[in-house]
Chain A
Amino acid sequence: MPQYLILIYDDEAVRAAANPEEFVRLLKAHEEFGAADGAVVRAGHALQAADTATAIRADSSGGFVVTDGAFAETKEVLAGYYLIEVAHLDEALAVAKRVPAPFGGVEVRPIRVFE
């Protein structure tokens, strides 16, 4: 069966403006999602804020350039993910619509399989 990564993106400004009760509600919403859709979830995690990211690029002389921050400086940043396994994209989209993402939205990416 195909697997999909559901990437949760947050608008960091919206998230920063949220109050503590909203985070409590969000946590509960993820627990409820897990209870309802856990059967298709293979993995899932929340991530620390994007300013804790470290980017690593190979340089031209065989070494690495290590920099503070995420790859792309965008309004929406990757905040968490679920890896799910379902029959086809329609089911993946149905699950993705149930993933709580009050500070942004989600992106659904098929996992590439090498044979």
Chain B
Amino acid sequence: MTDAAGRQWSEGASAAAVAEAHRREWAFVLAATVRVTRDLDLAEECVQDAYAQALAAWSDRGVPARPGAWLTTVARRRALELLRREATMRRRLPHLLTEQTEPGPGDGDDPDIPDDRLRLIFTCCHPALSVEAQVALTLRLLCGLSTAEVARAFLVGEATMAARITRAKKKIAAAAIPYRVPAADELPARVDAVLTVVHLLFTTGHTAPAGAELIRRDLVERSLELARLLRTLLPDEAGVAGLLALILLTDARRDTRTNADGRLLLLAEQDRSRWDRRAIDEGIALVRHALRHRPPGRFALMAAIAAVHAEAPVWQDTDWAEIVALYDLLVQLWPSPVVALNRAVAVGFAHGPAAGLAALDALAAEPQLAGYAYAASSRGAFLARLGRAAEARVAYEEALLLTENAVERAYLAARLRDLTEDEPSR
């Protein structure tokens, strides 16, 4: 098979192009098709159909110049066919409410195919849906993951995930959650809800809550792609720049977080020459941009903290006073017990383990930290540094009980062994 330029197309090349288009264009094609179907399930069906057609057509005639536009045209044509057929049979469930008005921000250059991805994002991350449902819909509809893949990502059964997605779609239709970009006065809160979903995807991938691997690369990649997409679609939102910076700066350490044997390496032990400099440079530029917004957002502040680590050539050079100052701002802006815990750990490095332990003890009454493994392990680390081995052991044992990730469990078990061997103190 040859394309217009006379190049040879094999079925393999066509399949690769379809896979690439699936990864890059799924959200665009689905979002544009929903505008026609006003029904998420029908749109998904038509888009899947278009990708299946692409496999044969692209192998015969070559990959089109604009695969997204090709797929959208085919999916929409299919949708119109089905809708016409259906109209003669029965009326469908309540339709998604779309505004057939002016193009929204981020609309593409093809007037026939507006870029509806923002509408899709805000529908998936609507606060009237549970956070679990928002995350599942985002992976399913924006990233194009199958229900089985979404289920695997969150370690639940496929039937459970299918039910969760079905229930969320039903609520979108029944409660008339609109397919639209929120009005200006609603936008800050709604953008924050979207960022929360993307951040949750990132943290779940960065340190998997359970399983043999420390990192779930696929989820980290998806969160990075979503943050980049949001940065394109919402260039004026400082929070988006902050979240993209946070993901880049944190993920820059990915290759150094475990050693060759898969053992967990702390920030202090990581080989900083192997951190991803390109990601760090991009992240630092974005942090500077995000911090210009007053007051700075929570993701910009977290990214600024990650940037301080990225800028220290070695662990000993870490500017802990700066990190504590940033955490002080973050705690005010976002008074979450987990943020306060991270601040206490930073205090321990800035002012010594006794000060860190005191800051941790001040959080002892926080119910959210009672079952939180990092609260126990941080306590264990401070107690060990203070030579209080028996108490440190109790804290590490508690952390081990609360930890399900195999790599983190191995790390905690090693700390417990150190404490036993170094009896009575270290």
Q: Determine whether B298 belongs to the interface, using a CB cutoff of 8 Å to chain A.
A: no
CA distance in complex: A110, B173 (Å): 10
* Cβ A90 vs Cβ B182 within 8 A: yes
**Bound CA span A90–B186, Å:** 9
Contacts of A108 in B (CB 8 A): 175
Asked if residues B94 and A89 are in contact (CB atoms below 8 Å), the reply is no
On whether the beta carbons of A110 and B128 are closer than 8 Å, the reply is: no
B97 at the interface (CB under 8 A from A): yes
Prevailing SS type, chain B contact patch: loop
Decide: A115 and B182 in contact? CB cutoff 8 A: no
Beta-carbon contact of B91 and A87 below 8 Å: no
Of A87, A113, A115, which one neighbours B97 at CB under 8 angstroms?
A: A87
A115 touches B91 (CB 8 A): yes
List the B side residues contacting A93 at CB < 8 Å: 128
**B111-129 CB contacts (< 8 Å) to partner A:** 126, 128
A2 in the interface (beta carbon within 8 A)? yes
Contact A110 B176 (CB under 8 A): yes
- By the criterion CB–CB under 8 Å, are B175 and A89 in contact? yes
Task: Name the CB-closest residue of B to A109.
Answer: B175
Q: Does A88 lie at the interface of the complex (its beta carbon under 8 Å from any beta carbon of B)?
A: yes
CB closest chain-B residue, reference A93: B128
- The B174-198 residues at the A interface (CB cut-off 8 A) are 174-178, 180, 182-183, 186
Q: Contact check, A110 vs B175: say whether CB atoms are below 8 A apart.
A: yes
Whether A90 lies near B94 (C-beta < 8 A) is no
Q: State A113–B177 Cα separation when bound (angstroms).
A: 16
Chain A residues 1-25 with CB under 8 Å of chain B are 2
A90→B119 CA distance, assembly (Å):
13
- Give every chain A residue within 8 A of B94 (Cβ-Cβ): 2, 113
| A88 contacts B178, C-beta separation under 8 Å | yes
A110 touches B186 (CB 8 A): no
B-side interface residues toward A, CB under 8 Å?
91, 94, 97, 126, 128, 174-178, 180, 182-183, 186
Can you list 29 A-B contacts with CB-CB less than 8 angstroms, sorted by A residue number?
A: A2-B94, A2-B97, A2-B176, A87-B97, A87-B178, A88-B97, A88-B176, A88-B177, A88-B178, A88-B180, A89-B128, A89-B175, A89-B176, A89-B177, A89-B178, A90-B177, A90-B178, A90-B180, A90-B182, A90-B183, A90-B186, A92-B176, A93-B128, A108-B175, A110-B174, A110-B175, A110-B176, A112-B174, A115-B91
The 9 A-B residue pairs with the shortest CB-CB distance, nearest first, are A88-B178, A2-B176, A88-B97, A88-B176, A110-B175, A89-B177, A89-B175, A89-B176, A110-B174
